Structure formats: C-alpha cells, structure tokens
C-alpha cells in the first residue's frame, strides 16, 4: 500500500509526510496554502490541487488540519474527499477533532464502501520529527490491523481504543492531562523564580523525581531559552479543551481543573498569543517571557 495522500502539511504533518516518503511511499499532498507545503514537496511529495484530487490518486488518505470545521470542509466540501470515488480506500483523520464528527465520517465512508479511522496523535513537533508519536485510534479492527505498519512509520505507541470516535475520546483524556501538567509547570516556574531559585537546577531536579512529566521535560527548557515557537498552537489547545469540556458536559461530568486551564489559555489568547506555542502560558506570570531573577543569574 504505497500510494498515500496527505492533506494538511503543517508543523506536524510535514514531518509525518517525510517519514512516509523515507519508507518509499508515494505521497500526494494538499494544503490550503501551497506555500506551506513547500518543505513536503522539496522532500519528494507530489502536489494535488484539491482534497478530491488527492483522494483520486491515493489508496490511503491521511488528514491533519486545524479545527473540526476544517475537517468537515476537507471531507464534505465541494472538492472534498467524499466527492471522489472512495470504495475500498482508507481514510484516516489525524486531526484532534470531535468524537461525534469522527463517527459521522465513519458512517459516511461505510456507506460508500470505504474504511474510516479517527487517529489523533500526541507528542508535539518533536514527536513528529522523531517518528515517536503516540497514536490513538478509533474504528474497526481489520482496517486498523492493515494500516498499523503505516502508523508505525511515525509512531511508537499505536493502540486501537475501540469503535469510531474512541480515538478522539482518548485524545480528550490526553489533553485533560496535558492541561494539568502545563499549568503546573508554569506555576512551578513562577514559584521557584519568586523564591530566588536557579530555574535550570529546579527543572532538572524536579524532573528527576515523582513530579517528572513530559511538559516539564520538553517545554520548561524552551521557556528558559525564551523559545515560544509553536510545537503546538495555543489556539489549537483551546479548541481541544473546548471539545473535552463539551464532551464531559454531555456525559454529566464536571472537570473544574480543565475549566480553569481553558480560562487561562483563553486569557493568553486575548493577549494576542493564539499563534504562539502552548508554553507561552508562562507569559501570564512573566509578560515579557523571561523572569528578572533568571536574567540576573544568566
């Protein structure tokens, strides 16, 4: 299964495309802004003018776009995936999106004789670059088994979570956890700074103990280097937290810590940081992105 399509060549999508190309696959790509696909094209991907064209040329079509509205447009739009003959094809949405939309895509694909999986990922830009993403899959077991070798080209933890929508529900659980570690990391840094501690030593020490976590290991060093480039956009994280809270409400579940995390990220976006990386949350404590105490020690 070498003829692949990939729609959405953003920060993570481009890295995934490169892994697929390295494995010898033909990859037809589309992105709403062609200039953002240049890195993928330079690596050997082939350009298609529409999602429909990508689908017509490919056996497996991956999508990785920003928001559920983008997912809907890519699949159901005038020149979308579902405008092409899809019988026998595999459709894989890597976008973090709504479980209800994932089930809708699955049911529409099934009527047309195709197979749809929702497969959101975790690991950020570094995970995509290194091919070490965690991939959370919802859908039927047979299509999953057939596509698992492809998933393993860019992920190291690949698990079928259940039926359609289960991958998205698992990603919501993941984002709920991330919300806690991101707010905890920022408050740790703010507290340690106020206490006059050496922040690099604190991060190294805490990350060697029971409070160790991915956010602390990967984002605290970026903060201390004043690097707020997006491995994952603030605006996309807000979208994820919104979906998580909406799904929780449907289930009659209250998530107060996640509600507070979303409130903080909304406040950050209101300051013009929606296109920054999620580590920019520290700017609610350090508006310039760097603490005076740390500067003095540098």
In the chain, which residues fall in CATH 1.10.1040.10?
169-297
pLDDT reading at 1 higher than 70: no
Query: In degrees, to the nearest 5, what angle opens at C-alpha 89 toward C-alphas 96 and 164?
Result: 40
Alpha carbons 42 and 178: distance in angstroms, whole number: 34
Chain centroid offset of residue 119 CA: 10
**What are the helix (H) ranges across 139-233?**
141-151, 166-194, 199-206, 214-224
- Rounded Cα distance between 187 and 49, Å, is 46
- Residue 296 pLDDT class (50, 70, 90 cuts): low
Specify the residue for token string 């298609």. 48
Residue 216 structure tokens: 């602390």
Q: Residue 290 above 90 pLDDT?
A: no
Query: Is the pLDDT at 8 greater than 80, yes or no?
Result: yes
pLDDT confidence of residue 294: 58
- Name the strand (E) or helix (H) holding 71: helix 68-76
Per the annotation, the verdict on 3 as an active-site residue is no
pLDDT averaged over the chain? 96
Look at residue 92 and tell me whether its pLDDT is greater than 90: yes
Instruction: Choose the CATH number for 3-162 among 3.40.50.720, 3.40.50.300, 2.170.130.10, 3.90.1150.10.
Output: 3.40.50.720
Interval 139-149: pLDDT, tens: 999 999 999 99
How many Cα neighbours within 13 Å face the side chain of 281?
A: 31
Tell me: the pLDDT tens digits for 22-78?
Answer: 999 999 999 999 999 999 999 999 999 999 999 999 999 999 999 999 999 999 999
The pLDDT of residue 293 is 60
Check whether 165 has a pLDDT greater than 90.
yes
Q: 103-142 in b/e burial notation, b at 16+ Cβ within 10 A? A: bbbbebbeeeebbbbbbbbbbbbebbbebebbbbbbbeee
Q: What percent of the chain has pLDDT over 90?
A: 95
Asked whether 25 and 4 are in contact (CB, 8 A), the reply is: yes
Catalytic pick among 18, 171, 262, 283:
171
**Residues 108-131: pLDDT tens digits?**
999 999 999 999 999 988 999 999
For the chain, what percent of residues have pLDDT higher than 70?
Answer: 98
pLDDT band for position 292 (cuts 50, 70, 90): confident
| Euclidean distance between CA atoms 282 and 298, whole angstroms | 19
**Tokens found for residue 44:** 């050997």
Place of tokens 């057939």: 146
Does the pLDDT at position 95 exceed 90?
Answer: yes
Q: What is the mean pLDDT of residues 87-102?
A: 98
Report the CATH number of the 169-297 domain. 1.10.1040.10
pLDDT at 2: 78
Q: Which of 244, 237, 185 is nearest to 213 (CA)?
A: 185
User: Is pLDDT above 90 for 99?
Assistant: yes
pLDDT confidence of residue 16: 98
CATH 3.40.50.720 domain range(s) in the chain: 3-162
């Amino acid at each position: 299964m070498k003829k692949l399509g990939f729609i959405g060549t953003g920060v993570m999508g481009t890295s995934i495309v490169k892994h697929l190309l390295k494995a010898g696959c033909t990859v037809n790509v589309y992105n709403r802004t062609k200039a953002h696909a240049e890195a993928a094209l330079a690596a050997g991907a082939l350009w298609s003018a529409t999602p429909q064209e990508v689908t017509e040329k490919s056996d497996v079509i991956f999508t990785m776009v920003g928001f559920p509205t983008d997912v809907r447009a890519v699949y159901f739009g005038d020149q979308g995936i579902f405008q092409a003959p899809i019988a026998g094809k595999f459709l894989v949405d890597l976008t973090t999106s709504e479980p209800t939309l994932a089930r809708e895509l699955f049911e529409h694909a099934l009527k047309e004789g195709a197979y749809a999986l929702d497969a959101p990922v975790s690991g950020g830009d570094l995970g995509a670059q290194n091919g070490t993403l965690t991939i959370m899959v919802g859908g039927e077991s047979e299509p999953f088994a057939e596509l698992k070798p492809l998933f393993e080209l860019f992920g190291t933890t690949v698990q079928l979570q259940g039926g359609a929508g289960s991958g998205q529900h698992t990603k919501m659980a993941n984002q709920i956890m991330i919300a806690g570690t991101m707010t905890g990391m920022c408050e740790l840094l703010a507290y340690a700074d106020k206490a006059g501690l050496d922040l690099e030593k604190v991060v190294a020490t805490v990350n060697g103990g029971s409070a160790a976590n991915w956010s602390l290991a990967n984002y605290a060093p970026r903060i201390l280097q004043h690097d707020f480039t997006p491995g994952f956009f603030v605006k996309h994280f807000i979208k994820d937290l919104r979906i998580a809270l909406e799904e929780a409400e449907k289930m009659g579940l209250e998530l107060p810590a996640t509600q507070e995390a979303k409130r903080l990220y909304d406040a950050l976006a209101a300051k013009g940081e929606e296109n920054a990386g999620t580590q920019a949350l520290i700017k609610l404590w350090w508006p310039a992105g760097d603490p005076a105490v740390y500067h003095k020690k540098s």
